[in-house]
Each structure stands twice: as C-alpha cells, then as structure tokens.
Amino acid sequence: AQALAKFGDQVVALLGGHLGDPASAIDVRRAIPPILASIGTPAAAHALLDNLLERDTTVRFQIISALNKIHQFHPEIELDTQLLETVLAAEIMGHYRSYQILESLRIPGNSDEPVMRALGESIPQELERIFRLLGLLYPHLDLHSVYFGLQSSDVTVYDNALEFLENVLRSQLRGMLVPLLDGKVSPKERAGIAERLVRAKVENREQAVAELVASDDPWLKSCGAYAIGTLGMKSLEAELNRCLEHPDPLLRETARTAKLRLEALAANS
C-alpha cells in the first residue's frame, strides 16, 4: 500500500474518495490515512481534513494520527482550526456521552457486563483522540507529556499536568474538558454534566452536527454551524438560520459564512 505514496498528489483524490466512501471495505479505509500521511502534501492533509467527521472511530483515529504525523514533519501546512475545533467538540461530547451511558448501565457489583467493558475500553481511546486533536490545535505545547502525566499514578505529576492544562486552555474549552480529566470529578458527576450537554443518542454524522448546533453552548453551536456549511448539510439549514439571530457575535458570523458556503454548494450541484 505504501507504494501508492510514491505517486504523491496524483493519487490523493482517489485515496480521499475511497476514504470518504462508506461502501469501501473498512480495512481499505483504515489503511488509507497512513498512506496520505506518507504523501505529506497540503492536498493529502486536506483529504484527511475532509473526512475528519468520520463515524467509524477506528478510521477517525487513523485520520487524526495521520494529521499528527503530517503536522510533525510539515508544520508549514495550514490546517483548518475551526474544523479541528468542531471535531474536538464532537469528541468531547462523545466522551461525556460514554459516561452518561456508563452511569445509566451501572449495576452495583457488576462491572463485567460486556457493554460496560466495551465502554470502559473506549474511554481511554476517546481521550487519546481528544489529546491528538489538542496537539493539532496547540502544536507549541508539549501535550504529549501532559497526556502521559494524566495517566500517572504519581499525584504530583498528575496534579502538575492538570494544572498546566487549566492554565493554557481557553476558558470555554477548559470548562468542558477539565471535568473529564480531574480525578476529583466522579463518573456520576460527569454523567450529570453530560445530561446538560448531550440531549440524544447520536447515530450518524448529521445527527452529531445537529447535536452540536442544538447545544446551549455558543462554542459548540459555532462548531455545528461551521460543519453544516463545510459538509453541505442542507437538511440542517433551518438550524443554521436560527444561529443567524443568536446574541453571540462569533456564532452569528460563523453561521453567516456557513450559509454562504451552503448556497455556493447548492449553486454548483
């Protein structure tokens, strides 16, 4: 498969097409992001970014990891930070949702139930995706060390890592992320936060974006509005129109840009 990488940008459109095609075999789709990372051009990075809201978490992890690799070796390639924030918001909400489900399934004295085990295993994977996205948004920070510090059983190392994050993240993101990482916040408390943030079970990409744009949080709403425009989700245009009347100026501007993009996509189709 890596032999394809030698063809460079000539094969990017083909690879990107297969990566974004749910009808392609899942093993094929999972193998594509590392090839795009090896190509390492702006076109390869954009093909990965176009598929960042991929529903399959294993494919999404490969996409995020490939972007990490491109960013590491080619920091001059600009990435769409607002799209990265959108995916980060969706990942954080998904992480809260896991605690919500975990709490609702919890049976005293029975942690062996298969669903509980699967959720228990998915939580560290979700956290790794969150940190890899943070690494793309904050490339100047040593978030790799912070990530490992938060896994540490050494209280001082753990506290220092958490404090570092609290100091560097902007307030909206800090308020959402720190309760997921702070060991003093119980799973039950996280489930309580999830109930405020997450309103319904999300089955697909469109629902995930609808969930974001329906949130009470302006940052999450902005992420959702941006995704509607970028992904050409005409079915969510009514939600986008509501964002145009929102008191938050950043959200209004994001919604206005998304609306123009939606109209341009409709005109070209």
Q: State residue 77's pLDDT score.
A: 97
Measured CA to CA, the distance from residue 1 to residue 35 in angstroms comes to 7
What value does the mean pLDDT of the chain take? 88
Asked whether residue 201 carries a pLDDT value surpassing 60, the answer given is no
Q: pLDDT per residue over 25-61, tens digit each?
A: 888 999 999 999 999 999 999 999 999 988 888 899 9
Helix (H/G/I), strand (E/B), else coil: 198: coil
In the chain, ranges of CATH 1.25.10.10 domains:
2-73, 205-268
221-255: per-residue pLDDT in tens?
888 899 899 889 999 999 999 999 988 888 999 99
Size (the chain), residues: 269
Mean pLDDT (whole number) for 145-158: 93
Q: Which CATH superfamily is domain 205-268 in?
A: Leucine-rich Repeat Variant (1.25.10.10)
Q: Does domain 2-73 have CATH number 3.40.50.150?
A: no
Segments in 138-170 forming alpha helices (H):
143-151, 155-168
Is it the case that residue 197 has pLDDT exceeding 70? yes
* pLDDT band at residue 107 using 50, 70 and 90 as cut-offs: low
Q: Which pLDDT band holds residue 116 (cuts at 50, 70, 90)?
A: low
What percent of the chain clears pLDDT 70, i.e. is strictly above it? Answer: 93
Contact (Cβ atoms closer than 8 angstroms) between residue 187 and residue 89: no
User: What type of residue is 109?
Assistant: G
Q: Averaged over 108-137, what is the pLDDT?
A: 78
Quick one: pLDDT at residue 122? 79
pLDDT 10s digits, 153-192: 999 999 999 999 999 998 888 989 999 999 899 988 998 8
Burial tier of 87 (Cβ tally within 10 Å: 0-12, 13-18, 19+): buried
